[in-house]
Amino acid sequence: MLGFWNTLQDAYSGGTNVAFGLIELLTDSGGDSSTPLLSAVASNYLLVVSAEDASVLPFGPGGPSLDVKQGFQLFRRTCDADEVNHLELVPLDTVVDLVPLATPRPTTRDILADFTPRSVRPASEDYDDFVATCGITLATAQLGQPAQVERDEPVMSFAWPPAGNPVYFISGEPTLGYPQDNRIMSLDSVSFQPTVVSEGLYIGPVQVATGGNSLLVYSYRPDTMKTIFMMTTRISLASSQLPVIATWGETALAYAGPVFTQWPDRILSPDGSTVATTVFSVDDNPSPNATEAAADTIDLLDVATATPRPLSNPTDCPSLTPLAWAPTGDKLLVGCEGQSNFWAAMGLDGVVSPFPDIPADLSQSVSLGQDCYAPAAVTNFWSASGPHELMQNDGGVRVYNIATQQLTVLVEANRVAPQTAPTQAVVGTEQVFAWAEQCFGLGETMCNAELRRLSIKSGVVDVVATAPRPLVFAVSPDGTQLALADDNNIYLKALTP
């Protein structure tokens, strides 16, 4: 039986649907379970089915490109002196050797890591022999001191408060539907003592103010199952109160997986006192003679009272989005994506000052210059050197200064991690962090990952941690502490700013 485990689309296959599969032998699991188990695999053969002729990257951006034809094709994978993964086309009737697994396990097609095109990964056991035969050296993980926190669920998101201790995190299972109760916890970075702050229907990410005493976390309203409401919940670091300060809105289904960038329409001010949010315009009875749709507006929500204060939208943009606060807290970076794309500074009095237009030679390197459907993870921040965009996609990880139009590459295209890999900008120290990854196994398994740090001031890039794959992490506001989490533990590591 063929176990299909990956489908590449968009930037990874030029828009063509291409499915890759390992040839797997499935057996009855026995007992009351009807789920078959994987008992043997031909890990050095790759079966491909494509809707049309295409060029794809089956090993990720760092691997070789593969030209496939419409229909079915079989490739044998071998080591090569100049190319770790060398693929040779062989006849479809080739006899392949199935290698038994020591312990049968669930099939790779049942493993869902995230919802991006680079999503479903086979287990690394499939490639141990291949990697060893090719003489590949996997890096030793350097993550810092393990905290030995007992938990049964993964860490979805970290956040450090302004004081730097403790670090807060959401512990729970991500889900594509209605979530289970997750826990917001804190971990003392000195004693390694964990504390449960609250339990509820929480999802990531956690936002933290650079000042003040507030965290923001998103949650589901539990009084309905048919319609899911997203809410913003404030966590006071001075008490255990968790008042709801705003309702996100209504949607039939919301993704509750590990999202590592800010939700674009809820941003917390530097002093923790105000949330800027988009108010979407909805006209239930539009006039048949109407020529223009009503424009969205931005509300400023007082954290203590949940009182909204609307900002006028003097631009011709129908969907103006707050992206980041200025460090002084007196203006916002806003963006418009539509017929005319632009960034602007909006004062709290509603006065808008546009930033320079995106240069033509950089139009494919920033989000507002790209096709809005191109997969990318984008975070905006405003530091002492100006407003920035941090974008991670198949072209690499780049930092763009919106005011000066300077573009800095942090991770090159052939080392970029999947778009759901976390990134972070530390505003106070003007540093940016992102994972770089090089993989050797099919489906981006057996990888070396390194967490890179960019100093915006000097342009220097260094490595602060290494791991077998990108991990959830967060850096403290002063840049001196790093928290990471893998499947088994939480780690704390001291950093030199």
pLDDT value of residue 280 = 64
Mean pLDDT, rounded, for 442-467: 89
Structure-token match 């034809």, residue found: 69
166-170, 182-186, 244-248: which has the minimum mean pLDDT?
Answer: 244-248
Among 150-154, 157-161, 386-390, which is the least confidently predicted range? 150-154
| 92 falls within a domain | yes
- Mean pLDDT for 240-253 is 41
The whole-chain average pLDDT of the chain stands at 74
Beta strand 244-251 pairing with 266-268: unpaired
Tell me what percent of the residues of the chain surpass a pLDDT of 70: 67
Domain annotation covers residue 51: yes
In a domain, 109, yes or no: yes
Whose structure tokens read 């033509």? 360
Give 116 or 169, the one with higher predicted confidence. 169
Interval 422-449 mean pLDDT: 86
Q: How many domains does the chain have?
A: 1
Q: Is residue 362 part of a domain?
A: no
Averaged pLDDT, 256-273:
58
Q: Is the pLDDT of residue 371 over 80?
A: no
Confidence of residue 234 (pLDDT cuts 50, 70, 90): low
Helix (H, G, I), strand (E, B) or coil at 15: coil
At residue 155 the predicted structure's pLDDT band, cuts being 50, 70 and 90, is: confident
Cβ burial 263-273 (10 Å sphere, 16+ → b, else e)? bbbbbbbbbbb
Tokens (6 digits) for 398 = 């780049």
Q: Which of 327, 328, 350 is nearest to 429 (CA)?
A: 327
Using the 8-state DSSP alphabet, how is residue 129 labeled? H
Q: What pLDDT does 25 receive?
A: 76
Tell me what percent of the residues of the chain surpass a pLDDT of 90: 24
DSSP 3-state of 26: strand
Q: Read off the DSSP letter of residue 210.
A: S
- 24 found inside a domain: yes
Q: What is the distance between the alpha carbons of residues 195 and 176, in angstroms, rounded to a whole number?
A: 27
Q: Is residue 364 part of a domain?
A: no
**pLDDT class for 361, splitting at 50, 70, 90?**
confident
Q: Could you give the 3-state DSSP secondary structure of residue 361?
A: helix
What number of other Cβ atoms are within 10 A of residue 64's Cβ?
A: 13
Taking residues 320-327, report their average pLDDT: 91
Most confident of 161-165, 175-179, 457-461: 457-461
Name the helix (H) or strand (E) containing 133: helix 128-133
The answer on pLDDT for 228 being more than 60 is no
Q: Which of 419, 436, 415, 466 has the alpha carbon at shortest distance from 62?
A: 415
Is 437 domain-assigned?
Answer: no
| Residue range(s) defining the domain that contains residue 19 | 2-132
Task: Kindly state whether residue 147 falls inside one of the protein's structural domains.
Answer: no
- Given this model, what pLDDT does residue 319 score? 77
Which DSSP state fits 138?
P
